[in-house]
């Protein structure tokens, strides 16, 4: 759940930032066995918050509930270290931080509140990549006056696409634009892809593919920004963003809802 947190760049230490994060995250934390947090300072409308009340006591919460990390704009890679040494943090305009929860406190996470908030938010539609391929290859009828069958007098024809031979490298383009509107449907793709059901001619070649690169697009048809995720020969995934190259901290961060090109390679 992304949050916008106002802080001072000139006087904020790690401890200050931790206290601010706890204040904003308290609605998701159950410290009592009955599911209630120790304090109830946080109003439901986060837009109205511009400071943390002095009466808020962070000592009622564990001091190591999560680690605070400085990450890139996509939350996929750590770009700076935040040290808990009492010194003023070096933060910039629109700095993005991520909270890495301590596993021993996962039981305190209040999923009921998250579900309640999520139920108020309209979720974007989602479709599986294999279903996209099925839709692309499905039969489509075309009504036209240019075709006239003398035997049946039908003017409707059906067009069908088939994959006769599967390539060693499979590149899938997700069409994100219809006219000028961006299609924001979340396409669920995975690191492994089985193309067996789409192969028209069966052969001894493998139909198993693995993901090795992703091209992402952010913005509109008139303008935007591209980045890429690539799997290196060392087994790690890297984010390529202009002149910046950063290693992903978590493999799952590669699975982006902004993907427009997927690169798969056949397993030998």
How far apart CA 172 and CA 264 sit, in angstroms, is 8
**Would the pTM of this model clear 0.75, i.e. be above it?**
no
CA-only gyration radius of the chain, Å: 25
Rounded CA-CA distance 268/266 in Å is: 6
Classified by CATH at the fold level, domain 126-266 comes out as Cathepsin B; Chain A (3.90.70)
Provide the pLDDT for residue 130.
92
Residue 264 has a pLDDT of 97
Where along the chain do its domains lie?
14-118, 126-266
Reported as a single tens digit per residue, the pLDDT across 45-65 is 444 445 677 778 888 888 888
pLDDT of residue 148: 66
For tokens 């798969």, the residue is 264
Residues in the chain where the model's pLDDT stays below 70:
1-4, 31-51, 73-77, 93-94, 110-125, 142-148, 153-156
């Amino acid at each position: 759940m992304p949050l916008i947190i106002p802080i001072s760049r000139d006087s904020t230490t790690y401890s200050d930032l931790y206290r601010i994060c706890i204040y904003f995250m308290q609605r998701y934390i159950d410290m009592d066995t009955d599911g209630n947090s120790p304090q109830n300072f946080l109003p439901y409308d986060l837009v109205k918050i511009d400071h943390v009340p002095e009466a808020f006591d962070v000592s009622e919460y564990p001091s190591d509930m999560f680690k605070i990390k400085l990450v890139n704009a996509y939350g996929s890679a750590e770009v700076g270290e935040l040290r808990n040494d009492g010194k003023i943090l070096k933060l910039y305009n629109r700095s993005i931080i991520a909270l890495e929860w301590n596993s021993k406190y996962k039981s305190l996470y209040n999923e009921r509140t998250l579900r309640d908030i999520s139920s108020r938010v309209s979720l974007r539609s989602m479709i599986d990549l294999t279903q996209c391929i099925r839709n692309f290859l499905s039969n489509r009828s075309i009504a036209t006056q240019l075709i006239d069958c003398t035997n049946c007098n039908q003017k409707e024809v059906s067009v069908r696409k088939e994959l006769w031979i599967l390539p060693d490298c499979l590149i899938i383009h997700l069409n994100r634009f219809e006219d000028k509107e961006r299609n924001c449907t979340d396409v669920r793709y995975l690191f492994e892809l089985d193309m067996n059901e789409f192969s028209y001619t069966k052969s001894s070649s493998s139909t198993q593919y693995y993901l090795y690169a992703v091209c992402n697009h952010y913005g509109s048809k008139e303008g935007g920004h591209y980045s890429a995720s690539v799997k290196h020969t060392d087994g790690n995934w890297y984010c390529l963003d202009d002149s910046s190259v950063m290693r992903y901290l978590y493999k799952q961060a590669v699975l982006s809802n902004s993907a427009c090109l997927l690169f798969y390679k056949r397993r030998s």
